[in-house]
Chain A
């Protein structure tokens, strides 16, 4: 079974045999699941629809599936899945408590736009690096295009980027500081599928982790253990 077939089974809420490595970790809908049983249960409860129209980008170590307004990224070792990210619309799942870590995303007075390093992504064609930067830049600056409550600050951190031919895929962790008087704080994700090779970046498909964004808005900010 190919990793894409295994992922599609999983997205339907079925258990693909021997496809997930034991330490497999899922992040999606604002929560985390660890291990095969928890991950299968996650997708069983909230399966994907519309799997007949899937666009994919693959590399030897990664798979990205784009299904309508949702996306799934996976890390692959020898055709088995080690890690999964699920992005898209939906209601956030109940998340575990966490300690809030006050931190500076930029370490610079002139604000940085995007955190990334070329060497982290050996499966990305060098010609695709600039398009990925451009997408990150758009995520940082154009977030508010169709959003009535844009975040005060948005910072993309490039987690995965890879390409196959002229197709590329990128996964960002997206830090959001909310625009309300009392700011929401946290990370969600954003994914992109794009073609490269021409002079300009033409209409990349961007998938936002809308459920994760809601989770960030709703999350408690714990500054201690009481």
Chain B
């Protein structure tokens, strides 16, 4: 069984220049079925993103996604590489100067030829075209964090989980998040409602807590225990002891602060609106970082009943689903940095009655 710190020659992109990342050369890792240009799995993720998004060779999606690839987002799954092609063209038509800056790739060997990446990106662009979510072109700058988790085999992404800080993007172009969410919810209520069945199934899965656990010697054990302690047991103080007292916290919608108390504040702010919560840890990965730090990726889901007031407005009684991915930087046994991303616009959309019953 592969260990989290095997293949030390496969480096994190942290601290490496773009020229260094794009340098071509011999393989550094055994990658059966992958194009020869890819030197290792991190290179595959960084380079294919560059080729598709920045070099605009969008057709490469057809050789980098499987035909039956499922892409999970909090607005529902999409299936097939042609959907990815069309979505990428649409995004670039709106923000053609988009830079897709990879901050880290935290990966794991899933056995049986499958590799799994958690790719933290900041996409920086100018809102120069009209867009279904962001509306008419505003010519404003927008740059938000995305984390894309991809299960890959033989040069293709076979399943993807994508979280993006869409609410912040709406804010950046001067939009009204509630107005966008209500418009989306109105559209969700029309037509065949069976297309939203995925959301009920996902909530049932999290309620059943069919999650995973990290082994005691895996660096992800620390944040996994922390998330469970917070959202399953409401033991926020104990949970936050996983952090350095001066840890830096980045959560969606521009929540940015420092310290254990700030992280607790982020948790209780969403927990106050969510009654009877269930949390599920869905995937973990870890990789070494420069200077003996460790990067950990945790994909997790949270569900609960919107029965409390607070940041999301008056309670509606709706069952809400949150899909989140967190990247942690751990130093000397404590979390020093937390980047957590979920689509809070999609949560408002659910509260507004969208994405099914």
Q: Are A106 and B261 in contact (CB under 8 A)?
A: yes
Cα(A97)–Cα(B169), bound, Å = 11
B334-A107 in contact (CB<8A): no
* Count of chain A residues near B, Cβ 8 A: 40
Task: List B residues 250-283 near A (Cβ within 8 Å).
Answer: 251, 253-262, 264-266, 269
Identity of the chain A residue whose Cβ is nearest the Cβ of B256 in the assembled complex: A98
The answer to whether A120 and B336 have CB atoms under 8 Å apart is yes
Answer whether residue A142 sits at the interface, using C-beta atoms and an 8 A cutoff.
no
Q: Is the CB of A34 within 8 A of B124?
A: yes
Q: Mark B131-152, 1 if CB is under 8 A from A, else 0.
A: 0000000000101000000000
CB of B178 within 8 Å of the partner chain: yes
Chain A residue contacts of B215, Cβ below 8 A: none
Task: Establish whether residues A104 and B264, one from each chain, have CB atoms under 8 Å apart when the complex forms.
Answer: yes
Contact check, A117 vs B245: say whether CB atoms are below 8 A apart: yes
CA distance A143 to B141 in the complex (A): 36
Instruction: Point out which of A38, A98, A223 has the most chain B C-beta atoms below 10 A from its C-beta.
Output: A98
Interface residues on B, range: 35 or more
Interface string of B92-126 (1 = CB under 8 A from A): 00000001011100000000000000000010100
Of listed B237, B244, B251, residue having the most chain A CB within 10 A: B244
Spell out A's residues near B (CB within 8 Å).
Answer: 18, 21-23, 34-35, 38, 61, 77-78, 80, 82, 96-99, 101-107, 115-117, 119-120, 122, 155, 157-159, 173, 175, 187, 223-226
Q: How far is the CA of A225 from the CA of B277 in the complex (A)?
A: 22
A61-B291 in contact (CB<8A) = yes
Q: A22-B101, A105-B259, A117-B246 are in contact. Are A96 and B265 (CB under 8 A)?
A: no
Give which listed residue, B122, B248, B313, B332, contacts A224 with CB less than 8 A: B313
B187 CB, nearest partner CB in chain A, Å: 19
The CA-CA distance from A60 to B258 in the complex, in Å, is 25
Residues of A within 8 A of B103 (CB): 23
The answer to whether A35 and B15 have CB atoms under 8 Å apart is: no
Query: Does B334 contact A117, Cβ atoms closer than 8 Å?
Result: yes
A157→B259 CA distance, assembly (Å): 7
Residues of B within 8 A of A104 (CB): 261, 264-265
Neighbouring B residues of A107 by C-beta, 8 Å: 237, 240, 260-261, 264
Of A97, A120, A224, which one neighbours B171 at CB under 8 angstroms?
A97
In the bound complex, how far is the Cα of B171 from the Cα of A104, in angstroms?
Answer: 27
What is the minimal beta-carbon distance from B251 to any residue of chain A, in angstroms? 8
CA A96 to CA B169, docked complex, whole Å: 10
B212 at the interface (CB under 8 A from A): no
What A residues does B312 contact at CB under 8 A? 224-225
| B216 in the interface (beta carbon within 8 A) | no
